[in-house]
Structure 1
Amino acid sequence: MAKQRTAVTLLSSFQWLFFIFANTVVVPISVGAAFQLPAETIEMTIRCSFIITGIACILQAWIGHRYPLLDSHSGLMWGLILNMGISASALGMDFATVGGGIATGILLAGAVTVLIAAFNLISIIQKIITPMVMSVYIFLLTFQLVFIFFKGMFKVTESGTIDLPVSLFSIGVVIFVSLLRIKGGNGLGNFSILIGIIVGWLLYRMIFPSDLPVESSAGMAFTFFPFGTPNLELGIIFVSFIAVLLNLTNTFTSIQAAADVYKEKVEENQYRRSIFITGIFAFISAIFGLVPYTPFTSTIGFLESTKLLKREPFIISGFLFTLLGIIPSIGGFLGTMPLTVGNAVLFVAYLQLFGTALNSLKGTFFNSETIFRLAGPVLIGVSIMNIPPILFGSVPVLLQPLITNGLIMGVFISIFLEKFINWDKLTNKLEVGQ
């Protein structure tokens, strides 16, 4: 019996390891590409990402919120940093200036986050981050991540057109992973992300052997602040600072959702401990050029489908993931993974976030007036996401990074609507025909 329990624990640990890998590996690669970092620096960020992600998962499960929740790179900050890197020229700045401003904003926000936890100011944050604001956040985060992955699936040639063979291959990967997830049941379906990455990667090597990045032969280039030395670019700092604080929305949402799975009531100290760890890792991420950390709401779907509710396998997987980053050869090899394949697989994975967003609205009544509570911030945010940043050139430079970010603007609008309109009173009046 003891041997059987050990075997189940190890198998569960490897399953967690694959889930963490699939949700982490693309982030440092894509951000490094957006800021045009050399291959050896991207290799460093991949290895640091693995090491720090593993440690973050262990600490959160051990002394933080104490749930098996993936703690990895924030989707909000990932999208923000990618957009800033892509929009650097439109903002009239070089990559080092933008990256340095982001680092300063993350460092400052990390300090504030630690202070919020240290002085137990959680109740103040909860008054701002209401359930409806959380729902708006999840909807917009879903759209932002899906947009990123969808665009990343398609390789663009030097002439600015889509590389048709590679793009069709990505669509094939999406179809394969989707069918595997839907038809695979609780067996293969639970491993659809891992299988998609492995099969897609192998086929890509066979079909496009000359289209793979060359592994760095110069070795890993270790450096602090690889995206740029901290500076005082106020516009970039402000947006990065606000975005990191908005990560707390994801923290509250994830912990509450996990508690629902376990049929438990969340204690305030769980939020406090988790937020303290998040603040510490914001400092660390800024120093090593990583996207800041947050508990993953999407982990809830993984928990519900696999029933891996014990903490022990999750903590073991954190140690294993850290080990992957310590072994030098693995970081260099993983740096050769085709971005189009990774984006195609994660495009399917994050479609499930839309279900999480819909579930967050259960019990909420909408009519022709109160629908503005949700539709206003969500649709305005999505609209901003689809406007090229260069069109905001007439806006003061200090405000451009904020105004051009649809997710942040959508959440701000939601907070404003929740604070200045009594939706419950309006709903009651409409129900009685007043």
Structure 2
Amino acid sequence: MKQLAGGIQWAVFLMASSIAAPIAIAHVFGMDSGDTALFLQRTIFVLGVACLLQAFLGHKLPINEGPAGLWWGIFVVYAGMVGVFYSTPHDALQALQSGMLYSGVLFIILAAAGVITKMKKLFTPAITFTYLMLLILQLSGTFIKGMAGVETAEDVIDLRVAAGSLLVLILTFVAMGNKREWVSKYAVLLSIVAGWGIFAVIGRAPRVEMGTGQIIELPKMFVYGPPVWDGGVAVTAVFITLLLIANMLASIRVMENLLKQKFSMQVEDRVRQGSFVSGINHLLSGVFSAIGPVPISGAAGFVSTTGMATMLPFIVGSALIVVITFFPAIMAVFAALPAPVAYAVTFAIFTKMVSMAFSELDEDEEKERARKAVAIGLMTGVGIMFVPSASFAQLPAVLASVLSNGLITGTVVAIIIEQLSLRKKTQN
């Protein structure tokens, strides 16, 4: 029973942290409610399968897969190309669908060549700290806006939503710190259920749209047509794949350190296997016309909060997610989760990530070198976050997507600075 309750909590966390991307992408491509529901179904299905593949064949760590933020950015950029480079949204989505296949093949090639194993050495404590802090800083604005009911630049703060979010946040912190183990262990699940109730009472819970009316509906394959060759998407896929590898390595390192330090668990180095599976997961994304997945760093905060470090609840939760996608009515219920509730609970989880980031930095023996790399990386990444996305509009799609992402650019800059410092030290 405990494993089932833990699995449900994992399933709710995976769903709550993954819904935003497919819904936002569907919106920019002008999909109707039916197509949006199917796009959400396919994406969540792929994420659930991806988690199971990683659990059994890949890195074998309790790290949930989520829609890659980089691919999210690329989808948005390519939506802007409709009418310029692509005749219809369908053509752009067909090209992006093929891009997932390109990325999957490249993942597998790099894993087979041993490149990814060598890249792991780049993620020193200083780089991991930089990555985590940039991730937290980048998402904190999204969390606060979501908790205040602000979706666009024209929106004003909804005081009722903000008050409800604050109450959910307080309940989450209280549950996380409760001395009763069953309360602290299932704090996320309890907080989401209670938060949903709060928003229903204040009249801010969305209505449940029951969708197609079919009891069972399997996800469809190659929705936008057969794979096509697109040179621009191919170049984009190469660069995005390399950055997704960096994201994956950081997520794995954070979880490995958490399991070793807090739970005293022995962790096997399975980066190469995880990379192979990431390639398979991207191939599945292409086949099912979904968004490419990536291991989510926030999983470490979730595990630290709930204390569920074993694999069985994670596997149960991932299997539940896969099964749920076959039932449109159940998917409709999850899709109706009030967004501010998800943002408030995730905000609480990410406070754990700040502590983890500083613990990482404390492990670096060469403080001066570490601080230099961190300082330049953080200033670069945070600075880019303040540059309007529209300012990158004239750049090629791949450059616009990457350079406008403070998380990736700041991390890459920190890696370059640290490697130059190490090379200089070796020469001296």
Short-chain TM bin: 0.7 to 0.9
Change (3 A) 1:189 1:27: farther
Q: Report deviation, 1:148.
A: 2.8
Residue-by-residue CA offset, 1:254-313 (whole Å, 9 max, x unaligned): 434444425566555x11111111111112224434332233333334444544343333
Q: Which residue of 1 aligns with 2:320?
A: 320
1:193 aligns with 2:188: yes
The amino acid of 2:55's aligned partner reads A
Residue of structure 2 aligned with 1:39, choices 26, 33, 36: 33
What SS is found at the alignment partner of 1:322?
helix
For structure 2, the 5+ residue unaligned runs are none
Q: Which residue of 1 aligns with 2:66?
A: 73
What SS is found at the alignment partner of 2:325?
helix
The amino acid of 1:71's aligned partner reads N
Residue-by-residue CA offset, 1:59-88 (whole Å, 9 max, x unaligned): 222222223x13311554366358648977
Q: Which residue of 2 aligns with 1:358?
A: 358
Asked if 1 retains the 8 angstrom alpha-carbon contact of 2:199 and 2:205, the reply is no
Distance 1:374 1:299 in 2: 23
Q: Report deviation, 1:98.
A: 6.1
What SS is found at the alignment partner of 1:313?
helix
Distance 2:135 2:192 in 1: 23
Q: Which residue of 1 aligns with 2:343?
A: 343
Q: Which residue of 2 aligns with 1:58?
A: 52
What SS is found at the alignment partner of 2:361?
coil
Please say which of residues 401-410 and 184-193 is displaced more in the overlay.
Answer: 184-193
Residue-by-residue CA offset, 1:44-71 (whole Å, 9 max, x unaligned): 233334433332222222222223x133
Distance 2:250 2:164 in 1: 32
1:420 aligns with 2:420: yes
Asked if 2 retains the 8 angstrom alpha-carbon contact of 1:174 and 1:345, the reply is yes
Asked if 1 retains the 8 angstrom alpha-carbon contact of 2:143 and 2:347, the reply is yes
Please say which of residues 39-48 and 278-287 is displaced more in the overlay.
Answer: 39-48
For structure 1, the 5+ residue unaligned runs are 1-6, 430-434
Residue-by-residue CA offset, 1:157-207 (whole Å, 9 max, x unaligned): 899231524542454245334433454344323333223322332333343
Change (3 A) 1:157 1:302: closer
What aligned pairs does 1:118-129 form with structure 2 within 5 A after superposition?
118-129=112-123
Asked if 2 retains the 8 angstrom alpha-carbon contact of 1:384 and 1:405, the reply is yes
Q: Which residue of 2 aligns with 1:3?
A: none
Distance 2:137 2:79 in 1: 18
Q: Report deviation, 1:404.
A: 1.8
Asked if 2 retains the 8 angstrom alpha-carbon contact of 1:235 and 1:400, the reply is no
Distance 1:70 1:236 in 2: 28
1:20 aligns with 2:3: no
The amino acid of 1:350's aligned partner reads F
TM-score of the superposed pair, with normalisation by structure 2:
0.80
Asked if 2 retains the 8 angstrom alpha-carbon contact of 1:27 and 1:78, the reply is no
Q: Which residue of 1 aligns with 2:199?
A: 204
Change (3 A) 1:282 1:176: same
Asked if 2 retains the 8 angstrom alpha-carbon contact of 1:235 and 1:399, the reply is no
Change (3 A) 1:328 1:61: same
Distance 1:74 1:25 in 2: 9
1:216 aligns with 2:217: no
Residue-by-residue CA offset, 1:185-241 (whole Å, 9 max, x unaligned): 443233332233223323333433696474435767966567999777766664554
Distance 2:231 2:157 in 1: 38
What SS is found at the alignment partner of 1:331?
helix
Distance 1:357 1:101 in 2: 38
Q: Which residue of 1 aligns with 2:250?
A: 253
Change (3 A) 1:399 1:56: closer
Percent of matched pairs sharing the same residue: 23
Change (3 A) 1:228 1:386: farther
Q: Which residue of 2 aligns with 1:376?
A: 376
Please say which of residues 308-317 and 212-221 is displaced more in the overlay.
Answer: 212-221
1:278 aligns with 2:278: yes
Q: Report deviation, 1:407.
A: 1.9
Please say which of residues 373-382 and 292-301 is displaced more in the overlay.
Answer: 292-301
What aligned pairs does 1:74-93 form with structure 2 within 5 A after superposition?
74=67, 76-77=69-70, 80=73, 84=77
TM-score of the superposed pair, with normalisation by structure 1:
0.79
Residue-by-residue CA offset, 1:348-381 (whole Å, 9 max, x unaligned): 32333222222221233545x7633102112211
Distance 2:315 2:169 in 1: 33
Q: Report deviation, 1:100.
A: 5.2
